[in-house]
Chains A and B, each alone.
Chain A
Amino acid sequence: MAGRRSVFGNARVRELAQQFVCAADETWRLQNGTGPECRFFQTFAVKGHYKGAGGTKQGYYVVAPSGKLLASANTRAGGAIVEMLEKGLAAWRELSPADRKLPDPATFRPSHRWEHSYPERGLVLERFARDLGGTDQRWNRDHAWFTEREARSMLPLKLAPGGYTDLARPLALRLARFHLVDNVRGQTLPFAPSEIEQAEIRLTITKRDGHRIELAIRGHTHANAKGKWLLGKTDWTPTQEYPRTLTTRLLGTARYDFKVDRFTSFELIALGTRTGRTGNCGRNKKDPPATPIGFYFRLAKPGVRIAPTFLEFYPAQWVKRPQNQGYGEHH
């Protein structure tokens, strides 16, 4: 988060960006995958700031649609990104039309992306996580996906004030396992189903006005991982044990409109306590063992299709899984 502030907080970076088409993507899949889009990325990334095959390819690239690399860098220094963009623009201006030209889409169009599982007309939430107290201002964002059918299942059968339903166990587990996780300071690990000791969320209708209902949401979750990884061999499998817990109380409100058959608002706050750490989550042994943490879920902006971090672990039939793509496989 600090890097993106220092880079994109630089006014000249934002000014120069207007001369480009700007794209963002996830590097683990691109640098390790075997599909066309991944291979296309690897072709220019191996010539960039982290030369050669293998290893991380995180960073910034200026590329012609042809795939010709024009500039690259991985730095938090806004000034260095300005230089990179200016270098890239200068190189672009020297390129012939032939060297700029986009190749046959078959050479870069992905056969699988997690975004292919986007739940059309479903409940798509944006989630923020932040520490409570302390001076560290870091935060992180993720998304949570529910299909239209799953969203509908969150509504009580009795569609009148007082009518309530408890969130179906698979959906409550989804929140507790994948979205109420300590990734405030960096990526973390999900919880296994058996590590969720409590995941109880109730939705109660507080008001009905014709085809619209308002709901109150309340709940509690408690996750307790003793340390051993229980989710098999995956890209996320850690090399050591990470005992950790995360406990929350949840409170929120939502509105559902039967005329459009979807939630028109959804806000959920979860406050709690986290203990322990994982390898990349940014906590270390010097940090206090238990600290308060907060989460905020809201409707994602329309059209935002960024896959949840742990979509590959959703035990849901509607998630389209990669076949022999070099990533996302579970054994």
Chain B
Amino acid sequence: MASLILLTCLLAPEGAHDAILNHDTLDVWRQFLTPAAGETVADAIAWVPSLHEGLIAADARQRPLFLWVMNGHPLGCT
């Protein structure tokens, strides 16, 4: 079922409005649209979500801070 729905989209890329979207297919779309584990490897790390909180945590734990910054929050939209 999932393959058929996705194949429909692949063969008719402009037919998204005609794609099958109903309560029976919600699970299929959820699965397709949710990133798989391999796509969210960064989430395996326990990120503190801000520089200032990271500094405080690093000091408390006596560890260096590994800071990742991007245009758009790396844990949000980039």
A and B are partners in one complex rather than unrelated chains: yes
A residues with CB within 8 A of B: 1, 4-5, 7-9, 14, 17, 19-28, 30, 37, 40-41, 56-65, 67, 70, 85, 88-89, 92, 100-102, 105, 108-110, 113, 115, 128, 130, 132-134, 137, 139-143, 183, 186-187, 216, 247, 249, 251-253, 267, 269, 271-273, 280, 288, 290-296, 304-309
B41 and A187 contact, CB distance less than 8 A: no
B39 touches which of A41, A56, A137, A308 (Cβ 8 Å): A137
Could you say which residues of chain A place their CB within 8 Å of the CB of B29? 269, 271, 294, 296
| Interface residue B2 (Cβ < 8 Å from any Cβ of A) | no
Could you say which residues of chain A place their CB within 8 Å of the CB of B65? 20-23, 61-65
Could you say which residues of chain B place their CB within 8 Å of the CB of A143? 76
B14 and A60 contact, CB distance less than 8 A: no
Sorted from nearest, which 3 A-B pairs have the closest CB atoms?
A23-B54, A292-B16, A102-B59
| Interface residue B3 (Cβ < 8 Å from any Cβ of A) | no
Beyond the given A14-B45, A108-B55, A309-B72, please list 6 additional residue pairs across the A-B interface where CB-CB is below 8 A: A8-B42, A24-B73, A28-B71, A28-B72, A40-B51, A294-B32
B69 and A25 contact, CB distance less than 8 A: yes
Describe B's contact surface by its main secondary structure: mixed
Q: How far is the CB of A165 from chain B (nearest CB, A)?
A: 19
Q: How far is the CB of A274 from chain B (nearest CB, A)?
A: 9
Could you say which residues of chain A place their CB within 8 Å of the CB of B76? 26, 141-143, 306-309
Given contacts A22-B46, A22-B47, contact A290 B14 (CB under 8 A): yes
Describe A's contact surface by its main secondary structure: mixed
A251 CA to B22 CA, complexed, in Å: 7
A47 CA to B48 CA, complexed, in Å: 23
Number of interface residues of B (CB under 8 A): 57
Q: Which of B33-47 contact A (CB under 8 A)?
A: 33-35, 38-39, 41-42, 44-47
Given contacts A30-B51, A139-B35, A186-B78, contact A61 B67 (CB under 8 A): yes
Q: Which of B6-42 contact A (CB under 8 A)?
A: 6, 9-10, 13-17, 19, 21-23, 26, 29-30, 32-35, 38-39, 41-42
B58 and A65 contact, CB distance less than 8 A: yes
Q: Look across to chain B and name the residue whose beta carbon is closest to the beta carbon of A134.
A: B13
B59 and A37 contact, CB distance less than 8 A: no
Q: Look across to chain B and name the residue whose beta carbon is closest to the beta carbon of A5.
A: B41
